Structure 1
Amino acid sequence: MTTAKGRATGLRTQLWATGHLLRSRMIGPMRPDRYVGMARILRRYGPHATTGFALAANRRPDGIGLIDERGSLTWQEIQERADALAVGLATLADGPPTSVAILCRNHRGFVDAFLAAGRLGVPALLLNTGFSGPQLADVLEREHATLIVYDEEFAGLVADARARIEGLTEVLSWVDDETATREQPPAELLIDAHRGERPPPTRPGRVVLLTSGTTGTPKGATRSGGGPEELAAMLERIPWHGGETVVVAAPTFHAWGFGQLVIGATMACTIVLRRRFDPEATLAMADEHRATGIAMVPVMLERIMELPAEVLDRYALDSVRFVTCSGSRMRGEAVVAFMDRFGDKVYNSYNATEAGQISVAAPADLRHASDTAGRPVTGTTLRLVDDDGNDVPVGEVGRILVRGASEFDGYTAGDTKASLDGFMVSGDVGRMDADGRLYVVGRDDDMIVSGGENVYPVEVERAIGELSDVREVVVVGVDDEKYGQRLAAYVVPARTEAVSPDDVRAHVKSRLAGYKVPRDVVLLDELPRNASGKVVVRDLPGVGS
């Protein structure tokens, strides 16, 4: 039974959320019929990823919703394309597919496919564009995919998967020559053939996001939306405004980039996409379209700051109010350099595919400590505990537990995240400072036990990263017969022969305890990364099986 105290708390939460939605102009003056349409959409779709696109079309049907390398689309055109593609997909086999797998880069075809899956009421499986052939086949097989929409550049990968998966229906998304004859139908032809048609109404299917899978096969994850409170918690920290323009450079198949795409639609912002990330092109798009926000992953910000000064000088980013990053750890020096040049506009978000947004570091937080993940967002509670489940003191490292506004529905394989006293075990470890800022030290299973001593790689990486001649570094544990594990540092020099393994070891020894000095220092031209910018540990020399 709901108590009076509970009702009062719920009312305060609703008022708080409404205030932030109003201030961000997500809710604003509209014709009465628009409000009626909004209510109808919310009843039909509920808190789903497709809801924001429908709301934007109701609110700004003739407003520009998306800009990519093929031009622009209004919000109404986006809805009409989704309807037409859904009808087209349902005609390709014996009735609608049981799921729609999507292997697309950042462009309109990705949006078409995931909205069409929603129209058909079937799961949309967002696939990593950096998959190898065996990984793609493994995921398609595990998730029982019956139809895949993919960019033509991935035809070879799909052909490999086809050999293992019988009856897989294929549709091409981005093609360079739409007039060429192909065995697989291009999505654009299906849209043209069924323009003006609509599929039967149904509740939208779930969106299946994949974990990064940097150490193993990615897992499929689904999460129940937290409603307006979850959106308001983000708007409280990051200055999105409705109806403006946002560049989404982060890959849209990844939880972070997909979330930014959905938020942009929900805010009826014009979303600017480009298939492949290019550091200078991202700056150019922001200036050309007078964007007020840019969403990217940390390595993208780092690549921008590696551009020559004369290139950076061409762009002002004076219209930009926020650059929001997430997905992996940010290099502090790159964050500071970006803010020194373009202003205090960087917001670092700590998220998890399973938990959504956990904390945000605002520019003031990053000025205080460039490696902080910031403070928990409203509605999210954190605990840091030891191996026995006891809270650790301020400043000490513990496992990060999360309880937020949205619920993790579990992995598609049937398993779920561990929990403790109603909190989800994030799998990360970190510490809190006296001001309530969170610092993520690494993954729980990243800890290296070498000769009986516990070492978290991030502190060694930070020490090595202090060297001006080091561009990038990752530290991992490798098997060792004598010590159980030993530290191995993989270093990308800033320039050829700029730093030696002995230089690296000597610097770490001058900063940290002797047992934290890496015995192996391997110089690489680049670190193996997936499409979302995370280092793929299994692909490092001497690590992968």
Structure 2
Amino acid sequence: MVTDIIDVVVEFAIARKAIWDVLVEPQTYPRLFAGIGACDQLDANDEHPTLNLRVGGEGLEIRMLQVQLRIGREGDSFELHCPAHGSFATVKLRETGGMTRVYVTYFKAARVHPLLEQLPNQSVVAWTMAGLKRVEDLIHGAPTSVLVNGEDSPMKLQAGVAKRMVMSGVVRTFRPDVGLKQLGSLAKWGFSMAGGYAAAAAHSPQQAAIIDDRFTSSFEQLHSRSNALAGALTALGFGGTTIGLLCRNHTGMVECMVAAGKAGADAVLLNTGLPARQIEEIVQRHSLSALFVDSEFEQLVRYLPAALPRFTTDEPPYPIPGRSTLEDLIAMRRPPEKKPPRAGRLIVLTSGTSGTPKGAKRPHPKGFGTVAALLSRIPFTTGEIMYVPSPLFHTWGLAALQISTAIRATVVLGDRFDAEDCLRRIAEHRVTALIVVPVMVNRILDLPKHVRDRYDLSSLRVVASCGAPIAGATVLGFLEAFGDVLYNIYGSTEVSWASIADPADLRMSPTTAGRPPLGTRLGVLGPDRRPLPVGLTGRIFVGNHMLFDGYTDATPPDEADGMLDTGDIGYLDASGKLFVAGRDDEMIISGGENVFPRAVEEALSHLPQVSEVAVVGVPDHEFGQRLAAFVVKRPGSGLDSEMIRNYIRHRVSRFSVPRDVTFLDALPRNATGKILKRTLVVPT
């Protein structure tokens, strides 16, 4: 057990002021000292700033500590007081001949966490010195913000992949003949969706592959029907061309994607929320040879050139004159090519939240490494019952579908999302894994408790969210309501995945984007494309074997040392967790200060009166730019603009106070749930 008083002394060849400026900044502690997961400044009427720290981690109990930052003499000394526990730390700085000595004294340290009752003094000393060493690295600019999970060692990576494949049951089989059929399917079609479904059909032909609102397809049925559809595509001259899919989530869309791959055709996955004008642009830009469309979207494609062949992918309530359906094509019973010259690729459109959507060519998974990457951070297993309301035209919905073939999961598809209906499906199908985008997490959590309690959700082990940040308040609320099932995936159409936060990460640091999965390299780089120190904010770059194959219609993002620029700004903390501050193009400069809207959004999300919030930068005559907040209030709340400004003034900084506050009934979103910030306009 640690003693009541512990002294630590460290000396650095650094000016005292440089160290002082870092140590009196509250965000230094969660960034540079392991075991501190978050730090929020409370709106307290005290002369000393009061900080709320989350401490614990690594399987330890997480505790909340309220700490007062008491400045003594400027540049000389300060104290961190924990009044509730009667403990504190004093920090003194002394500079002599260009060297600065830092003196830290702890009093009653054992009271702040039960772990300390079991540790020797040297553990506290070592923890302090490690944190101060990161302070030194930050001041000197040490290139420490790079994380590698297996990518630097081929042997380590292969061992990790093999371990995940065995643990998940992907490669387990007790019949050599079945194993040979699986390998034969992969040899023919590769590690694509076509190969995945063919291999699953060889292993478990009668197992349900897809369940949608109309019927259930086994792996064998889906493999057979997609073979027939691929043969029809080839016979009609669409093999080796580019086709378009405008569909909601249902079996027909999956059959089209698989058949296109077998026919060697590229498939452009069109966002169902696009207007007719943008669909026309995409048809022309990609020179689509055919379009496969759900009947409800007929009005969007009505004025496309009459020469463009169109096929109906669902079962319309009434026949469309002169229009063939998927069933008509499958009924042709044309055999597919033995093997096309090249496998067809899937082209996913970027979200288009900042402009026209770009076409991104998705690569085929390269062996079991793609599956192992996600399995290294999310505990998917074979035989999973996976509900996917996230759109299949979205990178995350598509990735989940691709992974489902490798683990032979039964995928439940829903063509529209409703929060209560989602819970009903989970209970009805005994769903074990739910694949969502963040707005769906919000909608589920917004359901009244008595509504949630109607459904048996005990089968649910994984809720995997990707596509946008989740507010820290929402993360904690969801974990409290549903247990440790939430996983937050950070990635993009261009880099696939970058990092994954598991429930332990999220309980410790609710706003974290997590850690890189197996086979992933992640770096936070400065303007010179060199790594920054841990804790310092810079551009996030990612490298893995699933980086996209380029845009079909735009210049690719910047590259550095084999990693792609995500376009996001963030930092790594002392524990190896990534935090995303926001998009590079969202940062504003107000009065000479760099300000990120997400910090304000996070702070406002903790207000119980706030349901949703978006913050954007707008031009300002005096400061160059200023922030504007758009808020959706919960029913019956008495929140007003001045209350919001005062709250931010005490929680973030004066430069982050939104001058404009607009209350809306709902925030504008695209079909994947992302907020369309470019459409938000400050009232004049």
The 8 Å contact of residues 51 and 266 in structure 1, kept in 2 or not, is answered as no
**2:355 corresponds to which residue?**
216
Q: Compared with structure 1, are the counterparts of its residues 181 and 132 closer, same or farther at alpha carbon in structure 2 (3 Å cutoff)? A: closer
Using the alignment, how far apart are the partners of 2:306 and 2:563 within structure 1?
A: 41
The 8 Å contact of residues 120 and 204 in structure 1, kept in 2 or not, is answered as yes
CA deviation profile, 1:392-428 (whole Å, cap 9, x unmatched): 2222211111122333311112621211232211111
**1:235 corresponds to which residue?**
375
1:290 to 407, 413, 430: 430
Is 1:32 paired with 2:185?
A: no
Letter in 2 for 1:506: N
**2:295 corresponds to which residue?**
152
Letter in 1 for 2:411: I
1:415 to 555, 576, 581: 555
CA deviation profile, 1:350-375 (whole Å, cap 9, x unmatched): 11111111111110111001111111
Deviates more, 1:32-41 or 1:513-522: 32-41
Shift of 1:388: 2.7
CA deviation profile, 1:146-174 (whole Å, cap 9, x unmatched): 211111111111124x0xx4632111112
Letter in 2 for 1:36: L
Using the alignment, how far apart are the partners of 1:134 and 1:453 within structure 2?
A: 40
Matches within 5 A, 1:478-489: 478-489=618-629
Is 1:64 paired with 2:208?
A: yes
Using the alignment, how far apart are the partners of 1:26 and 1:154 within structure 2?
A: 38
Using the alignment, how far apart are the partners of 2:241 and 2:373 within structure 1?
A: 34
Shift of 1:338: 2.1
Using the alignment, how far apart are the partners of 1:264 and 1:95 within structure 2?
A: 27
The 8 Å contact of residues 30 and 59 in structure 1, kept in 2 or not, is answered as no
Q: Compared with structure 1, are the counterparts of its residues 32 and 196 closer, same or farther at alpha carbon in structure 2 (3 Å cutoff)? A: farther
**2:244 corresponds to which residue?**
101
Matches within 5 A, 1:490-505: 490-495=630-635, 498-505=638-645
Using the alignment, how far apart are the partners of 1:450 and 1:466 within structure 2?
A: 24
**2:164 corresponds to which residue?**
20
Shift of 1:99: 1.2
**2:599 corresponds to which residue?**
459
TM-align CA RMSD: 2.1
Using the alignment, how far apart are the partners of 2:229 and 2:560 within structure 1?
A: 44
SS at match of 1:194: coil
Is 1:450 paired with 2:590?
A: yes
SS at match of 1:441: strand
Using the alignment, how far apart are the partners of 2:449 and 2:442 within structure 1?
A: 14
Shift of 1:262: 0.9
The 8 Å contact of residues 160 and 518 in structure 2, kept in 1 or not, is answered as no
**1:112 corresponds to which residue?**
255
Using the alignment, how far apart are the partners of 2:483 and 2:290 within structure 1?
A: 45
**2:30 corresponds to which residue?**
none
Using the alignment, how far apart are the partners of 1:35 and 1:201 within structure 2?
A: 21
Q: Compared with structure 1, are the counterparts of its residues 497 and 338 closer, same or farther at alpha carbon in structure 2 (3 Å cutoff)? A: closer
**2:60 corresponds to which residue?**
none
**2:94 corresponds to which residue?**
none
2:328 to 168, 189, 192: 189
Residue correspondences, number: 532
Using the alignment, how far apart are the partners of 1:106 and 1:323 within structure 2?
A: 18
SS at match of 2:658: coil
Q: Compared with structure 1, are the counterparts of its residues 306 and 95 closer, same or farther at alpha carbon in structure 2 (3 Å cutoff)? A: closer
TM-score for the superposition, normalised by structure 2:
0.75
**1:267 corresponds to which residue?**
407
Letter in 1 for 2:284: E
**1:476 corresponds to which residue?**
616
Matches within 5 A, 1:151-190: 151-160=294-303, 162=304, 165=305, 167-177=307-317, 180-190=319-329
Using the alignment, how far apart are the partners of 1:184 and 1:348 within structure 2?
A: 42
Structure 1 stretches lacking a partner, 5+ long: 1-5
The 8 Å contact of residues 328 and 534 in structure 1, kept in 2 or not, is answered as yes
Using the alignment, how far apart are the partners of 1:9 and 1:397 within structure 2?
A: 28
Using the alignment, how far apart are the partners of 1:90 and 1:378 within structure 2?
A: 38
Using the alignment, how far apart are the partners of 2:618 and 2:240 within structure 1?
A: 44
Bigger Rg over Cα: 2
SS at match of 1:538: helix
**1:53 corresponds to which residue?**
197
Q: Compared with structure 1, are the counterparts of its residues 420 and 196 closer, same or farther at alpha carbon in structure 2 (3 Å cutoff)? A: closer
SS at match of 2:193: coil
Matches within 5 A, 1:348-367: 348-367=488-507
Is 1:325 paired with 2:471?
A: no
SS at match of 2:369: helix
Using the alignment, how far apart are the partners of 2:174 and 2:645 within structure 1?
A: 63
Shift of 1:480: 3.1
Letter in 1 for 2:225: R
Using the alignment, how far apart are the partners of 1:374 and 1:430 within structure 2?
A: 12
Shift of 1:516: 1.1
SS at match of 1:237: coil
**2:448 corresponds to which residue?**
308
Using the alignment, how far apart are the partners of 2:320 and 2:545 within structure 1?
A: 49
The 8 Å contact of residues 292 and 312 in structure 2, kept in 1 or not, is answered as yes
Shift of 1:199: 4.4
The 8 Å contact of residues 265 and 271 in structure 1, kept in 2 or not, is answered as no
Shift of 1:30: 4.0
CA deviation profile, 1:426-466 (whole Å, cap 9, x unmatched): 11111111111111111111111223221111001112222
**2:339 corresponds to which residue?**
201
Q: Compared with structure 1, are the counterparts of its residues 172 and 496 closer, same or farther at alpha carbon in structure 2 (3 Å cutoff)? A: farther
Using the alignment, how far apart are the partners of 1:188 and 1:383 within structure 2?
A: 49
SS at match of 2:302: helix
Using the alignment, how far apart are the partners of 2:547 and 2:274 within structure 1?
A: 28
Using the alignment, how far apart are the partners of 1:117 and 1:60 within structure 2?
A: 23
Shift of 1:9: 4.7
Using the alignment, how far apart are the partners of 2:521 and 2:350 within structure 1?
A: 22
SS at match of 1:214: coil
Q: Compared with structure 1, are the counterparts of its residues 475 and 95 closer, same or farther at alpha carbon in structure 2 (3 Å cutoff)? A: closer
SS at match of 2:324: coil
Using the alignment, how far apart are the partners of 1:403 and 1:200 within structure 2?
A: 35
1:388 to 497, 510, 528: 528
SS at match of 1:44: helix
Q: Compared with structure 1, are the counterparts of its residues 332 and 9 closer, same or farther at alpha carbon in structure 2 (3 Å cutoff)? A: closer
The 8 Å contact of residues 20 and 235 in structure 1, kept in 2 or not, is answered as yes
SS at match of 1:409: coil
Shift of 1:11: 4.1
Shift of 1:331: 2.1
Structure 2 stretches lacking a partner, 5+ long: 1-149
SS at match of 1:52: helix
**1:437 corresponds to which residue?**
577
CA deviation profile, 1:445-501 (whole Å, cap 9, x unmatched): 111122322111100111222211110111111233443322111111112563222
Shift of 1:390: 3.5
The 8 Å contact of residues 269 and 349 in structure 2, kept in 1 or not, is answered as yes
The 8 Å contact of residues 232 and 333 in structure 2, kept in 1 or not, is answered as no
Using the alignment, how far apart are the partners of 1:64 and 1:183 within structure 2?
A: 33
Identity fraction in percent? 40
Shift of 1:51: 2.1
The 8 Å contact of residues 387 and 431 in structure 2, kept in 1 or not, is answered as yes
CA deviation profile, 1:267-311 (whole Å, cap 9, x unmatched): 111000011011111111112111211111111011001111111
SS at match of 1:376: coil
The 8 Å contact of residues 80 and 195 in structure 1, kept in 2 or not, is answered as no
Shift of 1:97: 6.9
Matches within 5 A, 1:507-522: 507-522=647-662
SS at match of 2:548: strand
**1:3 corresponds to which residue?**
none
Using the alignment, how far apart are the partners of 1:59 and 1:246 within structure 2?
A: 19
The 8 Å contact of residues 99 and 146 in structure 1, kept in 2 or not, is answered as yes
Shift of 1:10: 3.3
Using the alignment, how far apart are the partners of 1:309 and 1:501 within structure 2?
A: 30
The 8 Å contact of residues 240 and 266 in structure 2, kept in 1 or not, is answered as no
**1:526 corresponds to which residue?**
666
Shift of 1:503: 1.8
